[in-house]
Amino acid sequence: MNTQRPETAAATVPANGWAIELEKINKRFGAVHANKDIDLKVARGTIHGIVGENGAGKSTLMSILYGFYTADSGVIRVNGQEHAITDSRHALALGIGMVHQHFMLVENFSVLENVILGAEDSGFIKPSLDRARKELNRLEHEYDLEVDPDAIIEDISVGQQQRVEILKALYRGAETLILDEPTGVLTPKEADDLFRVLETLREQGKTVILITHKLREIMAITDNVSVMRQGEMVATVKTSETSPEQLAELMVGRRVLLRVDKTPANPGATLLEVQNLVVADDMGHVRVKDVSFSIRAGEIVGIAGVSGNGQSELLESVSGMRDQKSGNVLLKGTALSLKGDDGAARAREAGLAHVPEDRQRMGLVTTFAEWENAILGYQGNAKYGAGPFLDISAAKKAAAEHIKLFDVRPANINLKSSLFSGGNQQKIVLAREMEQDPDVLVIGQPTRGVDIGAIEFIHNEIIKMRDEGKAILLVSVELDEIRSLADRILVMFDGVIVGEADPATATEGELGLMMAGIGKDAPRGLGIAEQGPLP
Amino acid sequence: MSARRPIPRWADIALLPAINLLLAFLVSGLVVLLVGENPFHAIQVIIYGAFGYGEGLGYTLYYATNFIFTGLAVAVAAQAGLFNIGGDGQAYVAGLGAVVVALALDQTHWLIAMPLAVIAAGAVGGFWAFVPGWLQAKRGSHVVITTIMFNFIAAALMVYMVNRVLKPASTMAPESETIEVAGRVPQLRQFFSFFGYSPVNLSIVIAVLALIGVYILVWHTKFGYAMRVLGANPTASRYAGISNSKMIMITMTISGALAGMVAINEVMGVQNRLVLDFVAGAGFVGIAVALMGRNHPIGILLAALLFGALYQGGQELQFVIPGITREMIVVIQALVILFTGAMEGLFRPSLERAFMLFSPEQKADAIAVSTAKSES
């Protein structure tokens, strides 16, 4: 709390006036003060970033602006006029549009149909569609947002779907666009494209509010940035006058190491070998196509790639959760028998631990007490009971140990798992898997939805495992994470490993192109993808 | 979007069902009032009829025995996320196992006949649930559909078996030969004359053992742990190396075996022979019992007693107050099932809100959690 507050930027009225002014916004949920006296002024025609950890109050604030919540007190001014925004329809009428993190599109409708959905002119669709087509053409042209109006949503890429969301907002006359974590699902190239669109919007006089936790994006695209922490607006600064380090410190309230400190790898014998693996998804489509690689003791191999290119299936197959069509997974030279729906048990017995991509769906039973989750996957282990019986006190003892070692908060083994925050849930899973002392650790998305403080801790634990001589397979859609943790990077695209890179020398641009399935010599993207390797 | 926190466990297990029950009685009272009878008198009759004297209590316990078995059958399956609606059919075919063993051993002693009949009835009932389990695990046919269909198959099969196989040539009635005394389950009235002529028998001991057994199985064994993981999150159970298909098949078999115990009570304890339709809908009451009892043995015990009391008290009611017909009793039972089973969640939101008002700390916690969720 004692960090110095930087000078609040832009106190004077900007040239184009304020698009949005929030004054002394308060929102309490019982004893929790989710928004405390928040002041926020967004200048018209700018891109304004809002950063903060999970639970800092960003979403609450934007929900108030978009009419999901009503503030307990405070004033909202849109274009200088005071309004009490009652619902999102009202917000839209005032020209405030929102692009949600999870798209609100009807998958089997066309782009055009999605755009008019809920904004039809009359009971008959045809005239609305015709009018919308014209309007959409104009918008696409004006903002450089090309999408085929007749394409079906499920057939177009995630980046394009996001454009449809933006078009939806513009079609409804949005002057101010709120984007909530817009790049989470995009490739670096797509993110670049998005930023170009945002720049065009800014040129055309639109205002953009960008909620993100990626500081680099804030630095690359925004004009001003506001930092929230524990329900308070900690600072609003000009982006040109700040640095990622300063923003991180403001967010967390203490100094944070943004880069991982690690010594060069010292790889030993090969522990995990994947040979010609072919894996299909639930629908029977082949998602992993003849993938081979190996990982040695004391080495972290990172799989980079845009989500949905077979990484999930690869992880699930190696860890025994998903049957493979062909190929082998060898642990210390012995092929694992992963057939059947209890393959995960045999993988664990052989010494392969798995931190799954989706802790809520796989890694935890969220309705269970914390201690019950501390043995998930190891419930058959003799440590937790002889014969058919479960030794509850042994399980509870293990849980208490995990909580202590990984600093899980609150330190309550009887608390229902769903009541822990994302970071603490992840620590529960990591503690369980790491404390079994496996030879191979397979980790998916170790820090998804985890706040900065916990990220640092989790990264250090992973490095510690490596230094203890474990082989670690790391899959993450966060390129930064892969680059800072991995000793070798494999890039996956469309089920194939399209290339290998050395994190010390590969640039984000090169990796980004590989992730998009384009060779190294294809034309470069703009913006953030141009930045060089991490030091 | 409003923040909520689950109500405390005691309120979930005791208070909520009590409120539901009260409401069911209130509406039932209105129905009684509508036909021109005094609801207070009616409730008095029901309570006296069910608990007021030895024979009445005996009947209540006899009905409750069946409901404990079928309630446990539904609950065990529900712990693994399976909805076994086929308790009726499983109990019905289990009668075959019970009657065959009892008839074969009715020259020996009940101490020999009963345990073996328990095994046989459990095996047949278990098999009748295993098949839908197998179809679910290997073919993806939903157990809700298949267990219902198996009820019909069971009904048809039993009509055939009773009429063509089990019925002695000497009788016209569709029933098996009568089991000799040595093959019958002893009546409690043989030990306590207090129970009058009521049919409550030693099967109730099996019911109590089953309650304890299920408790241990679900919460104190590795199998029970795996079952609950599967029930709560099938993806997590796959992640945990639990074979979902095996779990489904075994759990369904256990569930069917529990339902099959109804046959011991009815065939060997009450009817002393296999008659058509001896289950009399106990399998379906079991669904309401499990729902009301929150799939927990203690809750099931209480709910089974309640339904037993309703059955017995209801019988009494139509004797004592002629204005209330048999159909009226069914209406009251249905109302109880409706309010405690189908609409058991009716008051949950208001109760949650009420608890928030009374305990502000909880409220703070709840909000913190819900906001943390909405962020990210």
DSSP 8-class letter at A389: B
Q: In B, residues 283-342, which contact A (CB 8 Å cutoff)?
A: none
* A contacts of B374 (beta carbons < 8 Å): 59-60, 63
Claim to verify: residue A428 and residue A462 sit in the same structural domain: no
Count of domains for chain A: 3
CA distance B303 to chain A (A): 24
Q: What is d(CA B118, CA A174) in angstroms, rounded to the nearest whole number?
A: 72
Cβ contacts of A454 on chain B, cutoff 8 Å: none
| Residue A192, domain member (yes or no) | no
Residues paired with residue A303 on neighbouring β-strands, in sequence order: A475, A490
Indicate if A445 and A525 belong to the same structural domain: yes
A109 plus A151 within the same structural domain: yes
Same domain flag for A483 and A413: no
Among A100, A229, A376, A436, the strongest candidate for a mutation testing the B interface, having the largest count of B CBs within 10 A, is A376
Percent share of chain A, pLDDT over 70: 93
**B236 chain-A contacts, CB cut-off 8 A:** 361-365, 376
- List the CATH number of the domain containing A469: 3.40.50.300
The number of C-beta contacts closer than 8 angstroms across A and B is 133
Cβ contact A320–B375 (<8 Å): no
Cβ contact A421–B372 (<8 Å): yes
Answer yes or no: is A472 within a domain.
yes
How many whole angstroms separate alpha carbon A356 and alpha carbon B168?
63
Task: Tell me B197's DSSP state.
Answer: T
| Residue A395 and residue A475 share a domain | no
How far is residue B102's CA from residue B273's CA, in Å, rounded to a whole number?
Answer: 9
- Helix, strand, coil % in chain B, rounded to nearest 5: 75, 0, 20
In the prediction, which pLDDT does A257 show?
A: 64
* Shortest Cα–Cα distance, A31 to chain B (Å): 5
What pLDDT score does A519 carry? 56
Using CA atoms, how far residue A41 sits from A22, A77, A181, A224, A530, in Å, is: 6, 9, 20, 10, 31
Q: What angle do CA A166, A168, A173 make, to 5 degrees?
A: 95
Q: What is the pLDDT of residue A367?
A: 93
Q: Do A377 and B240 touch (CB under 8 A)?
A: yes
- Whether A47 and A223 have beta carbons less than 8 Å apart is answered as yes
Q: If DSSP codes are grouped into helix, strand and coil, which group holds residue A176?
A: strand
Pairing outcome for strands A286-296 and A81-83 = unpaired
A521 and A460 share one domain:
yes
Strand A176-180, strand A73-78: pairing? unpaired
The answer on pLDDT for B343 being more than 80 is: no
What's the pLDDT at B318?
Answer: 87
Q: How far apart are CA A72 and CA A27, in angstroms?
A: 5
How far apart, in whole angstroms, are the C-alpha atoms of residue B18 and residue B5?
Answer: 20
Global model pTM greater than 0.90: no
Q: Which of A146, A173, A200 is the last residue of a domain?
A: A173
Which pLDDT belongs to residue B5?
58
Do A285 and A337 share a domain, yes or no? yes
Q: What pLDDT score was predicted for residue A298? A: 95
Predicted pLDDT at A534: 42
Residue A395, φ and ψ in degrees, nearest 5 = -65, -40
Question: How sure is the predictor about B359, in pLDDT bands with cuts at 50, 70 and 90?
Answer: low
- Interface check for B363 against chain A (CB to CB < 8 A): the answer is yes
- Same domain (yes/no): A450, A329: yes
* Residue A454 C-alpha from the chain's centroid: 15
The angle subtended at Cα A256 by Cα A254 and Cα A261, nearest 5°, is 150
Does one domain contain both A417 and A296? no
Has residue A251 been placed in a domain?
A: no
> Regarding predicted confidence, which is higher, B194 or B6?
B194
Q: Across residues B193-205, what is the average pLDDT?
A: 94
Pairing of β A352-355 and β A440-444: parallel
Q: CB-CB: which of B221, B225, B360 is closest to A31? A: B360
In a domain, A248, yes or no: no
For A342, which of B6, B241, B367 is closest by C-beta distance?
B241
Say if residue A521 is in the same domain as residue A387. no
Contact at CB, A59 and B229, closer than 8 angstroms: no
Please state the φ and ψ torsions of residue A171, each to the nearest 5 degrees.
-60, -35
Among A173, A198, A216, residue at a domain's last position: A173
| CA gap B133, A38 in Å, rounded | 57
3-class DSSP state of A410: coil
Distance CA A280, CA B148 (A): 34
Inside any domain, residue A65:
no
- Measure A450 CA to nearest chain B CA, in Å: 8
More confident residue, B135 or A507: B135
- How close A379 gets to chain B, by Cα (Å)? 6
pLDDT at B239 over 70: yes
pLDDT at B43 over 50: yes
A465 & A391 share domain: no
Per the listing, tokens 């490739």 go with: A187
Nearest C-alpha of chain A: how many angstroms from B235?
5
What are the 10-residue block averages of pLDDT along chain A, 535 residues in total? 43 80 87 86 94 80 88 90 87 90 86 86 80 88 86 86 90 91 78 89 92 85 91 91 87 73 88 95 89 96 88 94 93 90 93 92 93 95 92 96 91 89 88 94 88 84 94 90 93 92 87 76 38 41
Residue A151's domain spans which residues?
102-173
* Interfacial B residues in 12-31 facing A (CB < 8 Å): none
Residue A315 lies in a domain: yes
| Final residue in a domain of this structure, among A133, A153, A173 | A173
Give the tokens for residue A509. 């641009």
Residue B243 forms contact with A (CB below 8 Å): yes
Looking from the CA of A369 toward its CB, the CA atoms found within 13 Å total 14
Tell whether A494 is covered by a domain. Answer: yes
CB distance from B81 to chain A under 8 Å? no
What pLDDT, on the 0 to 100 scale, is given for residue A140? 86
> What pLDDT is attached to residue A121?
73
Specify the 3-state DSSP secondary structure of B70.
helix
Q: What local confidence, expressed as pLDDT, does residue A10 receive? A: 44
Q: Looking at the structure, tell me whether residues A386 and A283 fall in a common domain.
A: no
| A13 vs A19: CA distance, rounded Å | 11
Distance from CA of B325 to the nearest CA of A (A): 45
Q: Determine, for residues A341 and B243 on separate chains, whether the beta-carbon distance falls below 8 Å.
A: yes
Dist. CA A141–CA A196, nearest whole Å: 14
Does the pLDDT at position B368 exceed 60? no
Closest chain B residue to A34, measured at CA: B371
The pLDDT value recorded for residue B370 is 46
In a domain, residue A91? The reply is no
Please report how the helices A158-171 and A188-203 are oriented relative to each other, as an axis angle in degrees rounded to 10. 20
